[in-house]
Structure 1
Amino acid sequence: MKPYQLSITEASRLVASRELSPVELTRSVLERIDEVDGRLSAFVVVATEQAMEAAAIAEKEIADGSYRGPLHGIPIGIKDLFDVAGFPTSASSKVRVDHMATEDSACVQRLRDAGAIMVGKTHTHEFAYGVITPTTRNPWDLARIPGGSSGGSGAAVASGECLAAMGSDTGGSIRIPASVCGTVGLKPTYGRVSRHGVTSLCWALDHVGPLTRTVRDAALMLGVVAGFDPRDPATAEVAIPDYTDGIDAGVSGLTIGLPTNYFFDDVDPQVETFVREAVAVLAANGATVREVEIPYAQQMMAVEFGLIVPEASAYHQSMLRARGEHYQDDVRIFLEVGEVMLASQYLKVLRVRTLIKEAFREAFEGLDAIVCPTLPATAARVGQQEFEFPKGVRKSVINAYVGHSAPGNVTGLPALSLPCGFDSNGLPVGLQVIGRPYDERTVLRIGHTYEAATDWTARTPSL
């Protein structure tokens, strides 16, 4: 196994024992980027010189006995929505090619403090407003999309171009690329991680979190980036546990909800089969499975887009007027639509969102988590406009993908995606675990139990 193929958990053990140096590990990752990124285009910019300098510093610190923890000397990617001092934050858009960050975002600063090494900035769907990430390709099949908007992060982690990456999630933008690229993606509870220094899409729905190779790696990343930040008024002053503590405890005694509606209404049969088999694995490991009805299913997408569309337009209003011709057509159309939404409509959406959150609290009574498909289908082909599901149901790619991930954003509940199979085209299928507010530990525990009982996360694309 080459160093770039290691998980954070494996690499950090070797780095801490000085069996593997941060310089050797970082060089391996950078060589991997040189090898494959010409085909994937996962990175906007690769910080080769800065990464090697940081790796040399990390190596010396560890040799001197100043080991900072499991992320010390670990190469990671940063989505190009996050400010990284000295680098542009372009949001993969011509609109902001000249936007130079003068300081680190909160997450980047916390990662640096933990000793992590930034190897570059990964592509996003322009301003995170889409699920395609058209600049980037899926490492399992270069004719398919990597998902979005954190498509660069998903492709980079899956292909070994970094050991983990940061993403953002407003309508599924961590979990969608995690699902179609075969990685682990964690959207924490709304308010768990600071968004300071991260370009916004929708203040009411934006979350940030990690994409990793394993569930334990996601727990390690969350433990570093989580925490209250007065610069982000949405963050909550709640205790930050050790997310790896109890991750091996299994699922015996936990009750898992299996939806009877919504998540299985329009789904590819292969996806449904793999997800139901995953639920059976959890049950065989001691979990109690109970059917649950998803409330307000028909209103979910209306609330999701009823919040994103006007808020995104408000954020982009001045840029749209000054540089409107530089936006991609799909993003510009959404921004123009948001200009004509009425304030009364927006307020009604907020009221319905409150009802949905209250209904989910009731639905979770007696449950520790809900388990369902991350997405109703695997990776779409480049240029594909829609999916056809059983009974002749057709949905656009964006509606199909966001429909499954939106409940986590609308409710603000923590949600994890991890691989649970591969379809007949060799494309990854994602399993989604949705938990109670600020109970990421249980979500991670369930995901890790399933991961340990299978070998899906050990599979890597051949490129």
Structure 2
Amino acid sequence: MLKSNARNAKWLVNARNFTSIKGKSLAEASKALETQTISALELTNACIEQIEATRQLNMFVADTFESARQLAKESDIRRSNGNARGPLDGIPVGVKDIFCMNNEAPTTCGSKILEGFKSPYESTVTQRLLDAGAIPLGKLNMDEFGMGSATKYSKFGSTINPWSKDFDKNALVAGGSSGASAAAIASGCVFAALGSDTGGSVRQPAAYCGVTGIKPNYGRISRHGMIAYASSLDTPAFFTKTAKDASIVLPLLSGPDGKDSTAIQDSISPGWCQLPSSLNLNGLTVGVPKEYFVQELPEEILNVWDQGIKHLKEAGARVVETSLPLTKYALPTYYILACAEASSNLSRYDGVRYGHRATTEGIAVNNDDSNQANALHDLYCRTRSEGFGEEVQRRILSGTFVLSAGAFNDYYERAVIVRERIRKDFANSFESGIDVLLTPTTPTGPFSLHGNADPIDMFMNDIMTIPASLAGLPSISVPTALSADGFPLGLQLIGAPKEEDIILQAAIAMENQINFNQFIPTRVYEGTR
């Protein structure tokens, strides 16, 4: 049994003190495990205690606590024998409910139509977490099939932002669709959490919850075992407290995978992205795209952007203006393509093979072939109407329309062309000598959970993150400041293809000038029960 001195015991047990385990980074927790001042089982139990204390936020939709404790005991044995698997060995993590896991937790994608589905196989990214010795504590809430910007379109109900002034009338959204994963990091329940980013579903909630969210280059992390929304855009991604933590996790999840033909097949060097904690940016050129200065941006966001430019200059970077002229077409292009792919991908959910099936009551079935066909059609209609939520139905119908014979040429084909031109815009900027781009992550701070936002207004929350997704580029959101109301605001760094190490270098340099102690939602750390 590993020994824990009195100071560390207090550090773990005092779950109401925000200087305790919940305020620590992954790097700090990993160091404590490495020096054997705490055990993986103690660390796991402390995180489970915090999950129980924050149930009101509705983050975890399925728990795997018993298997987690067993994995923690095995981690402690490995470490005591000198066989630790690396910096993630013994570290508690969370998994968005979009990733298949071959354990006791269902994989539902936040949807009634997958109710009770238990995967017979493990996704590549969760297998790599397990291979690294990480300890999954359960599945995290999400917008149904990743379609949403607030984690409120879920059969499990809404997730509440830990930064909310109260968790009732003044509750804020956690962002979406990976809002619960961001909230789990912000509230100190886990040290890393898997999410998925199709058009900003990791970066936007990271900004809203005051944590770091990284979307690697498309294909950097295998999509095998991640339930599809829009296959040409879906990117496994993750959250950590800091960019330094992200640089530890990314190499362990990346690499070739024969189960995913879209995965980058380049081998990963052992030290890739594992950067020193103190960096200067001498020789780095940062581009500020003028098209992102949209008229609707509040002065507060512009001030944070200016602050980020100042931080990068102080770290030694050269900041220049650049142009991405087709940015204004990114939002409609994205929603045409994403909805079209969603219509195709979600056609497999029919109630016949797995998941929810509508009742057959009232459906007349006899030996007549036409009646049997009508009955089957009725079953499909009932199942999909009952199983899919309103937002998913809206996007399926939109996608079906743009793929129809009368609209295909006018919408889908034009969107494909515009996407290529948007990708070329980015390529031109990087070819001109720019190493990284700096933009706001979101046009506003977190908004009320109880507002009746128009779907188009909800789409606008992704206006800053969608262009990088269309181009498949690596990008990261870093918490940078607090709003006048005391809520977190983030900035986004976008890199050239396959250059995650560059955006991490810039993000860590920014971190070195930011007081991260401010990004702790003290209400949650003081307890919610």
> Fold match, TM over 0.5?
yes
Q: Which residue of 1 aligns with 2:186?
A: 158
* Residue deviations 1:50-85 (CA, integer Å, cap 9, x gap): 111110110111001101100000000000000111
Q: Which residue of 2 aligns with 1:81?
A: 98
Q: Which residue of 2 aligns with 1:380?
A: 447
TM value normalised by structure 1: 0.95
CA distance in 1: counterparts of 2:293 and 2:86, whole angstroms: 39
DSSP 3-state at the match of 1:340? helix
DSSP 3-state at the match of 2:108? coil
CA distance in 1: counterparts of 2:181 and 2:62, whole angstroms: 12
Q: Which residue of 2 aligns with 1:391?
A: none
Q: Which residue of 2 aligns with 1:66?
A: 83
CA distance in 2: counterparts of 1:457 and 1:301, whole angstroms: 35
Q: Which residue of 2 aligns with 1:253?
A: 283
CA distance in 2: counterparts of 1:425 and 1:330, whole angstroms: 30
CA distance in 1: counterparts of 2:114 and 2:502, whole angstroms: 39
Indicate conservation of the 8 Å contact 1:166/1:210, yes or no. Answer: yes
1:436, distance to aligned residue in structure 2 (A)? 0.6
Q: Which residue of 2 aligns with 1:129?
A: 147
Q: Which moved more, 1:431-440 or 1:264-273?
A: 264-273
Indicate conservation of the 8 Å contact 2:292/2:439, yes or no. Answer: no
Tell me whether 1:116 sits opposite 2:127 in the alignment: no
Indicate conservation of the 8 Å contact 2:233/2:470, yes or no. Answer: yes
1:439, distance to aligned residue in structure 2 (A)? 0.5
* Residue deviations 1:64-107 (CA, integer Å, cap 9, x gap): 11011000000000000001112211011111012111121000
Indicate conservation of the 8 Å contact 2:198/2:235, yes or no. Answer: yes
Tell me whether 1:361 sits opposite 2:427 in the alignment: yes
DSSP 3-state at the match of 1:296? helix
Quick one: which of 334, 339, 342 aligns to 2:395? 334
Quick one: which of 289, 296, 306 aligns to 2:326? 296
CA distance in 2: counterparts of 1:247 and 1:188, whole angstroms: 20
DSSP 3-state at the match of 2:54? helix
Quick one: which of 375, 392, 415 aligns to 2:475? 415
- Matched residue count: 455
Q: Which moved more, 1:244-253 or 1:135-144?
A: 244-253
- In structure 1, the gaps of 5 or more residues are 388-394
Quick one: which of 51, 55, 62 aligns to 2:68? 51
- In structure 2, the gaps of 5 or more residues are 1-18, 153-157, 351-379, 525-529
Distance 1:411 1:122, change over 3 A: same
Distance 1:244 1:264, change over 3 A: farther
5 Å-filtered alignment, 1:278-293, equals 278-293=308-323
Tell me whether 1:171 sits opposite 2:199 in the alignment: yes
Q: Which moved more, 1:15-24 or 1:263-272?
A: 263-272
Q: Which residue of 2 aligns with 1:28?
A: 46
Amino acid at match of 2:112: K
* Residue deviations 1:151-193 (CA, integer Å, cap 9, x gap): 1101111001111100000010000110100000000001111
1:396, distance to aligned residue in structure 2 (A)? 4.4
Distance 1:407 1:258, change over 3 A: same
Indicate conservation of the 8 Å contact 1:451/1:457, yes or no. Answer: no
TM value normalised by structure 2: 0.84
Indicate conservation of the 8 Å contact 1:175/1:405, yes or no. Answer: yes
* Residue deviations 1:251-295 (CA, integer Å, cap 9, x gap): 111000012123544212111101211111111221100001122
DSSP 3-state at the match of 1:20? coil
Quick one: which of 419, 435, 442 aligns to 2:502? 442
5 Å-filtered alignment, 1:2-17, equals 2-17=20-35
DSSP 3-state at the match of 1:277? helix
* Residue deviations 1:301-353 (CA, integer Å, cap 9, x gap): 12111110110011112426333222221221221222221333322221221
CA distance in 2: counterparts of 1:422 and 1:341, whole angstroms: 41
Q: Which residue of 2 aligns with 1:308?
A: 338
CA distance in 2: counterparts of 1:235 and 1:32, whole angstroms: 36
Q: CA RMSD in A?
A: 1.6
* Residue deviations 1:115-155 (CA, integer Å, cap 9, x gap): 00000110010110111111200000031100000011011
CA distance in 1: counterparts of 2:274 and 2:348, whole angstroms: 44
Q: Which residue of 1 aligns with 2:108?
A: 90
Tell me whether 1:453 sits opposite 2:500 in the alignment: no
Q: Which residue of 1 aligns with 2:356?
A: none
Q: Which moved more, 1:338-347 or 1:214-223?
A: 338-347
Amino acid at match of 2:426: F
DSSP 3-state at the match of 2:476? strand
Amino acid at match of 1:374: T
Greater C-alpha radius of gyration: 2
DSSP 3-state at the match of 1:400? helix
Misfit runs of 4+, over 6 Å? none
CA distance in 2: counterparts of 1:263 and 1:385, whole angstroms: 27
CA distance in 2: counterparts of 1:458 and 1:17, whole angstroms: 28
Q: Which moved more, 1:429-438 or 1:229-238?
A: 229-238
Q: Which residue of 2 aligns with 1:190?
A: 218
1:246, distance to aligned residue in structure 2 (A)? 5.1
1:459, distance to aligned residue in structure 2 (A)? 2.5
CA distance in 1: counterparts of 2:457 and 2:516, whole angstroms: 25
CA distance in 2: counterparts of 1:341 and 1:413, whole angstroms: 26
CA distance in 1: counterparts of 2:256 and 2:517, whole angstroms: 31
CA distance in 2: counterparts of 1:150 and 1:19, whole angstroms: 33
CA distance in 2: counterparts of 1:410 and 1:337, whole angstroms: 19
Indicate conservation of the 8 Å contact 2:22/2:187, yes or no. Answer: no
